Amino acid sequence: MSAQMSSSLLGAVSWILALQFFAVQVIVALAFTPSFSVATNVISDLGNTVCGPYPPGSANVVCSPWHAAMNASFAVLGVTMSAGALLTAPCFRPGWRRTLAIVLFLGGGIGVILVGLFPENERALPHAAGATANFLGANAALILFGASLPSRPGFSAFSRLAGSIGLAAALLFASEVDLGLGAGGIERFAAYPVPVWQIVAGLVLLRSPVSARQPDGRR
């Protein structure tokens, strides 16, 4: 097996590890008090390190005893996002779209690491900056990744759709427009397209890791 193929396979596995992000949320939410609501609670509430009203003075009470696991999950997701973007580069058609997609995805990965390192109640500014980098940068990267893999039109279309949904939801979330889904609901439409895409992309690339060897997309 060539070094390039080994790198691509490792990158694909890195992306598939995004599964842990969803599993940890379910587990941590089981200990959350009062009961965790997908509609009213944002994902970061699971990583909140104190018990009480949050934001301070609001009616929203959060208490996540297993917050350390959630914050570790954020950090792991960010690392695997970034590693996968670098390692799977040979799978995408060379050009500015691939380069920009990798840069944006790296930025999004670093952003998720910041979310884990700085819980919402401890360092709000770097936490929010990290979430913004992920919501905007990583979702935009999905569209560019899709444009860089013309040899797989179905996956390319899925990538563009996922990124577009994520970007639109991120803008709605920032504007405090939830479309009746609640703050937590609309946030998940901004946050989930990226890890879902990672899992799908990892599985697709695992079957054929090097699929864009020529600048024009020919194999």
74-98 pLDDT, tens digit per residue, is: 999 999 999 999 999 988 999 999 9
What does the DSSP 8-state code read for residue 136?
Answer: I
Q: Which residues of the chain register pLDDT less than 50? A: 213-219
Q: What pLDDT is attached to residue 210? A: 59
Q: What pLDDT is attached to residue 59? A: 82
Contacts 24+ apart (CB under 8 A), 121-128: 121/48, 121/49, 121/50, 121/54, 122/49, 127/44
Global pTM? 0.90
3-class DSSP assignment, residue 125: helix
- Distance, in Å, from the CA atom of 125 to the CA atom of 196, rounded to the nearest integer, reads 26
Q: What pLDDT is attached to residue 214? A: 43
Paired tokens of 170: 């991120």
pLDDT mean across residues, the chain: 91
| DSSP assignment string, 140-209 | HHHHHHHHT-TT-HHHHHHHHHHHHHHHHHHHHHHTT--TTSHHHHHHHHHHSHHHHHHHHHHHHHHHSS
User: What are the CA-CA distances from residue 186 to residues 64, 137, 169, 179 (Å)?
Assistant: 21, 17, 6, 7
Q: What pLDDT is attached to residue 213? A: 47
**Please, how many CA atoms are within 13 Å of residue 155, restricted to the half-sphere of its CB?**
20
Which sign does the torsion angle of CA 85, 89, 93, 98 carry?
A: positive
Residue type, 60: N
What is the rounded end-to-end Cα distance, in angstroms, of the chain?
A: 17
List, in order, residues 6 or more apart from 9 with CB less than 8 Å away.
1, 205, 206, 209
Q: What pLDDT is attached to residue 2? A: 65
